């Protein structure tokens, strides 16, 4: 099905979500391995011996964790690369569709479609060669995504050692059973998942493996959708785009809403030709796409998109009604976070009672999420 420029970005974000889900599953599997080792011999009354035995098993745990990460690596590399390449192709398709949809005149529409389709096919051949354009972007995404693997293995080690130390320390004080102490330590030290990953753009914030991968993939796929789109427009000789308008907007993007941007050149008034009539028209250009991007437009999680601007033909950008409101989207993220949090709880549960408690919470949040996505028609 043909796709619009905004739709291409959304398709990319959905792909990013799928790659992140692989990491969330692997994270849960790693936490399960930690809990399985911590849970051994908990109720045997051999005091300090328990901690010594557990620490002697660090190497085995490491091997189990490595097996999980290797399995993840083989699928995640392919998935991350495919996500970027597919989204870039969606962006190219969107270039054709987004321009053609604006034209009422049948003759011009046909001519435009042919030119754009040729540009799209040319770009598809050229863009996938190694070391340039989308291939470069895909390689970067793969390298960011797989960069968490070593850190995850180190973190598994750290979490395990800390849980054992904390459990042993608590028992010496003697108020609670070793099992209770172990569960408490596991819950506390894994509440945020396998964490410690930072993004060079914002080093003060740390992520867990799944959220880091989701952030990296969202950025890469959104970029691929826009770059695929723009490369096709450029090849088709279309040098202007307009910025979509949203029912709600972030402060950083407000100044660009509905404005016309150029792929190259400078801001100001230009004389351009109406492609339908050949008549010269004035166009007010607010800046280049590169300038707008540097100033924040199309930042991570930006809802804006670009579309071809055909002088004298394109109408002012309509307000794109997104299917969901900002509040709905926030609520969706919150519920997803809660589900992941309780999946981690279930992964480190040392007994059926703790597992059932987490499972009940997961089911409850999933029910709420289902109701919300149905009512608000959010992407799932
Ligand atoms: Zn924005």
Using pLDDT thresholds of 50, 70 and 90, give the confidence band for residue 127.
low
> How many angstroms is it from 256 CA to the middle of ligand 1?
9
Question: Cβ-count burial of 58 within 10 angstroms (0-12 exposed, 13-18 middle, 19+ buried)?
Answer: middle
The per-residue pLDDT for range 251-309, each reduced to its tens digit, is 788 899 999 999 999 999 999 999 988 999 999 999 999 999 999 999 887 889 999 99
Using pLDDT thresholds of 50, 70 and 90, give the confidence band for residue 377.
low
Residues 108, 106: Cα–Cα separation, whole Å:
6
> How many angstroms is it from 297 CA to the middle of ligand 1?
5
- Asked whether the predicted pLDDT for residue 379 surpasses 80, the reply is no
More confident residue, 355 or 124: 355
Residues 97, 94: Cα–Cα separation, whole Å:
5
Task: Name the token pair of 102.
Answer: 């604006």
> How many angstroms is it from 302 CA to the middle of ligand 1?
4
Beta strands in the chain (DSSP E): 195-199, 202-208, 240-243, 260-262, 268-273, 280-288, 306-308
- Asked whether the predicted pLDDT for residue 323 surpasses 60, the reply is no
Residues 20, 17: Cα–Cα separation, whole Å:
5
Give pLDDT, residue 46.
Answer: 65
pTM of the predicted protein model: 0.88
Most confident segment among 16-25, 46-55, 246-255: 16-25
> How many angstroms is it from 293 CA to the middle of ligand 1?
10
Give pLDDT, residue 367.
Answer: 96
CB distance 35 to 349 below 8 Å = yes
φ, ψ of residue 186 to 5 degrees: the values are -60, -50
> How many angstroms is it from 254 CA to the middle of ligand 1?
8
The per-residue pLDDT for range 185-239, each reduced to its tens digit, is 999 999 999 998 988 878 888 899 999 999 999 999 999 999 999 999 999 999 9
Nearest residue to 194 (alpha-carbon basis) of 161, 157, 224:
157
> How many angstroms is it from 75 CA to the middle of ligand 1?
32
CB atoms within 10 A of CB 374: 10
Give pLDDT, residue 130.
Answer: 54
> How many angstroms is it from 247 CA to the middle of ligand 1?
12
Work out whether strand 260-262 and strand 280-288 pair parallel, antiparallel, or are unpaired. Answer: parallel
- Asked whether the predicted pLDDT for residue 140 surpasses 60, the reply is yes
Long-range CB pairs of 118-125, under 8 A, 24+ apart, other chains included: 118/236, 119/95, 119/232, 119/233, 119/234, 119/235, 119/236, 120/92, 120/93, 120/95, 120/96, 120/232, 120/235, 122/235, 123/92, 123/228, 123/231, 123/232, 123/235, 124/89, 124/92
Tell me the HSE value of 170 on the side-chain side, using a 13 A CA sphere. 18
> How many angstroms is it from 304 CA to the middle of ligand 1?
6
> How many angstroms is it from 124 CA to the middle of ligand 1?
28
């Amino acid at each position: 099905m043909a796709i619009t420029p905004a739709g291409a970005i959304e398709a990319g974000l959905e792909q990013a979500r799928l790659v992140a889900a692989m990491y969330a599953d692997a994270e849960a599997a790693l936490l399960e391995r930690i809990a399985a080792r911590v849970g051994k011999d908990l109720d045997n009354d051999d005091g300090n011996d328990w901690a010594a035995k557990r620490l002697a098993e660090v190497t085995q745990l490491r091997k189990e964790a490595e097996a999980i990460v290797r399995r993840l690596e083989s699928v995640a590399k392919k998935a991350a690369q495919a996500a970027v390449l597919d989204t870039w192709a969606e962006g190219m398709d969107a270039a054709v569709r987004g321009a053609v949809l604006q034209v009422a005149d049948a003759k011009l529409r046909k001519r435009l479609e042919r030119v754009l389709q040729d540009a799209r096919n040319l770009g598809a051949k050229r863009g996938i060669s190694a070391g340039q354009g989308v291939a470069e972007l895909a390689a970067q995404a793969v390298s960011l995504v797989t960069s968490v693997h070593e850190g995850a293995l180190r973190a598994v080690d750290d979490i395990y050692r800390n849980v054992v130390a904390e459990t042993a320390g608590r028992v010496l004080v003697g108020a609670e059973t070793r099992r209770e102490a172990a569960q408490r330590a596991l819950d506390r030290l894994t509440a945020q998942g396998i964490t410690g990953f930072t993004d060079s753009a914002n080093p003060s914030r740390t992520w867990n493996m799944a959220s880091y991968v989701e952030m990296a993939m969202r950025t890469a796929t959104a970029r691929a959708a826009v770059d695929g789109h723009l490369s096709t427009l450029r090849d088709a000789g279309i040098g202007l785009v307009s910025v979509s308008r949203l029912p709600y907007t972030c402060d950083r993007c407000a100044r660009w809403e509905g404005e016309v941007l150029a792929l190259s050149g400078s801001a100001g008034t230009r004389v351009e030709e109406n492609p339908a009539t050949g008549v010269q028209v004035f166009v007010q250009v607010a800046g280049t796409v590169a300038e707008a991007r540097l100033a924040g437009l199309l930042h991570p999680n930006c809802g804006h998109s670009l579309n071809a601007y055909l002088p004298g033909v394109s109408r002012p950008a309509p307000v794109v009604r997104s299917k969901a409101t900002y509040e709905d989207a926030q609520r969706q993220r919150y519920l997803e976070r809660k589900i992941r949090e309780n999946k981690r709880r279930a992964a480190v549960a040392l007994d059926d009672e703790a597992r059932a408690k987490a499972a009940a919470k997961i089911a409850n949040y999933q029910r709420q999420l289902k109701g919300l996505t149905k009512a608000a028609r959010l992407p799932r």
